[in-house]
C-alpha cells in the first residue's frame, strides 16, 4: 500500500472571456495549490482492473468516479495488463471550487505511473488529464500556474511567496453549471489584470499580488446564493487580504495576516455554520507520503 496526497487549489485570478463554440467558457486564470488535501491509498492488483473506493457520502465509486476514468485511460494506453485499487479519503469539500475531484484524478495518474513503473513525463500525463476534466492538467504539476482555454493549457509562472490562507466553506455547495448560467453580460478579453498580477509575482511582491486578486464569477455566484457575500465581508473584517472566490464557489479564500490565529478563524467560522481550513500555499499538485 502506497499513500499519496492530492492538494486542492484556489484561483488567485479568474477571467471569463466568453463562450466557446464547443459550449465551454474560455477562461484565463492563475491557480495556486494549497495544503488542503485528499489522501489516496493505492495498491497494485494482479488483474487488469481499476477499483476506486471512497469514504465520502455522495461521492461516486467505481466507474462513476473521475479517478477511475483517468486511470482506465492510462491503463488501456500504457499498461493494459496492470490493475490498481485506490481507496480515497476525502477532506477537500465538494462543490466548493477547490478542485478536489480533479486533484484526485491527477494524483492517481502520477501514483499509477510510479507504481506501474511506466516512466511517463508530466506532458504525457497532462494529455490524459485533459481528456477527463478541464482542471485536471493543472494538478499534474501544481504550484502556481496560469491556465487558459477551458483551463487545460497550463504554464508555470513566478511562484506565490510563502503565505497562509484561510478557506471558508459554507454549508451549501454551488454547481459550476448553475454559476456559469448566471453570466449575463458580454465578456471581452482583458489580459491587463492578470499581467499586473503576474508582474507582482515576478517581483516577489505578495501585498501587491493580493491587491490584484479577482474572480469574474463572484457576482454570478452571489446571484445564485446572495448570502455568499457575507462570507467575503466577514473575511475582510478579520483583516484577510486577497479575498477571492475559489473557482465557481462555494468556498472563499483569503490570505491571513500575521497575528490572526487559525483557532480564531475556525471558531468564528463554525459559529456561523461554516467550515474553515487554514493552510499554506504549496508548490506541487500531489506528493507521495513516506510510509
Average pLDDT (40-61) is: 94
Same domain, 267 and 186: yes
Q: What is the pLDDT of residues 76-97, one digit of tens each?
A: 999 999 999 999 999 999 999 9
- Please identify which residue in the block is written with the cell numbers 493543472: 138
Q: Is residue 187 scored above 90 in pLDDT?
A: no
Q: What is the pLDDT of residues 270-290, one digit of tens each?
A: 999 999 999 999 999 999 998
Predicted local confidence at residue 136, as pLDDT: 97
How many domains are contained in the chain?
Answer: 2
DSSP class per residue in 135-176:
SHHHHHH-SEEEEEETTTEEEE-PPPPS-EEEEEE-SS---H
Tell me what percent of the residues of the chain surpass a pLDDT of 90.
87
Whole-number CA gyration radius for the chain: 19
Same domain, 110 and 218: no
* CA-closest candidate to residue 104, choices 86, 120, 118: 86
142, 157, 172: which is the final residue of a domain? 157
Predicted local confidence at residue 183, as pLDDT: 83
Catalytic residues: 9, 135
Same domain, 76 and 146: yes
Same domain, 98 and 217: no
Predicted local confidence at residue 291, as pLDDT: 64
Q: Is residue 236 scored above 90 in pLDDT?
A: yes
H/E run at residue 5 = strand 2-19
3-state secondary structure of 270: helix
Residues whose CB falls within 8 Å of the CB of residue 24, separated by 6 or more in sequence, listed in order = 134, 150
Average pLDDT (102-110) is: 98
Q: How far apart are CA 105 and CA 66, in angstroms?
A: 6
Q: What range defines the domain where residue 260 resides?
A: 164-280
Same domain, 124 and 185: no
Same domain, 257 and 169: yes
**Residue 176's domain is classified under what CATH number?**
3.30.70.890
Flag whether 288 is in a domain.
Answer: no
Same domain, 100 and 121: yes
- Considering the chain, what is the average pLDDT of its residues? 94
Flag whether 290 is in a domain.
Answer: no
128, 157, 186: which is the final residue of a domain? 157
> What is the reported pTM?
0.95
129, 157, 185: which is the final residue of a domain? 157
Average pLDDT (153-167) is: 96
Q: How far apart are CA 45 and CA 51, in angstroms?
A: 9
Same domain, 57 and 105: yes
Tell me what percent of the residues of the chain surpass a pLDDT of 70.
97
Predicted local confidence at residue 241, as pLDDT: 98
Flag whether 289 is in a domain.
Answer: no
Same domain, 17 and 147: yes
Q: How many CA atoms lie within 13 A of 40 on its CB side?
A: 32
Predicted local confidence at residue 189, as pLDDT: 58
Amino acid at each position: 500500500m502506497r499513500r499519496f496526497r492530492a492538494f486542492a487549489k484556489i484561483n488567485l485570478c479568474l477571467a471569463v472571456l466568453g463562450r466557446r463554440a464547443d459550449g465551454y467558457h474560455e477562461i484565463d486564470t492563475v491557480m495556486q495549490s494549497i495544503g488542503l488535501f485528499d489522501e489516496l491509498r493505492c495498491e497494485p492488483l494482479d488483474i487488469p482492473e481499476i477499483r476506486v473506493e471512497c469514504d465520502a457520502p455522495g461521492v461516486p465509486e467505481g466507474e462513476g468516479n473521475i479517478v477511475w476514468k483517468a486511470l482506465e485511460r492510462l491503463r488501456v494506453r500504457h499498461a493494459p495488463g496492470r490493475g490498481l485499487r485506490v481507496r480515497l479519503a476525502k477532506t477537500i469539500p465538494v462543490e466548493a471550487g477547490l478542485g478536489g475531484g480533479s486533484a484526485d484524478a491527477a494524483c492517481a495518474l502520477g501514483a499509477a505511473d510510479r507504481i506501474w513503473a511506466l516512466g511517463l513525463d508530466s506532458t504525457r500525463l497532462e494529455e490524459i488529464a485533459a481528456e477527463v476534466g478541464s482542471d485536471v492538467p493543472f494538478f499534474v504539476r501544481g504550484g502556481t500556474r496560469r491556465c487558459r482555454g477551458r483551463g487545460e493549457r497550463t504554464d508555470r509562472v513566478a511562484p506565490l511567496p510563502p503565505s497562509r490562507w484561510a478557506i471558508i466553506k459554507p454549508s451549501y455547495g454551488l454547481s459550476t453549471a448553475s454559476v456559469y448560467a448566471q453570466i449575463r453580460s458580454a465578456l471581452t478579453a482583458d489580459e491587463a489584470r492578470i499581467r499586473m498580477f503576474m508582474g507582482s509575482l515576478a517581483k516577489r511582491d505578495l501585498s501587491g499580488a493580493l491587491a490584484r486578486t479577482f474572480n469574474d464569477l463572484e457576482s454570478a455566484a452571489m446571484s445564485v446564493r446572495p448570502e455568499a457575500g457575507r462570507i467575503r465581508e466577514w473575511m475582510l473584517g478579520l483583516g484577510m487580504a486577497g479575498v477571492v472566490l475559489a473557482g465557481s464557489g462555494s468556498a472563499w479564500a483569503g490570505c491571513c495576516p500575521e497575528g490572526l490565529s487559525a483557532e480564531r478563524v475556525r471558531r468564528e467560522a463554525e459559529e456561523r455554520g461554516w467550515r474553515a481550513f487554514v493552510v499554506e500555499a504549496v508548490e506541487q499538485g500531489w506528493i507521495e507520503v513516506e510510509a
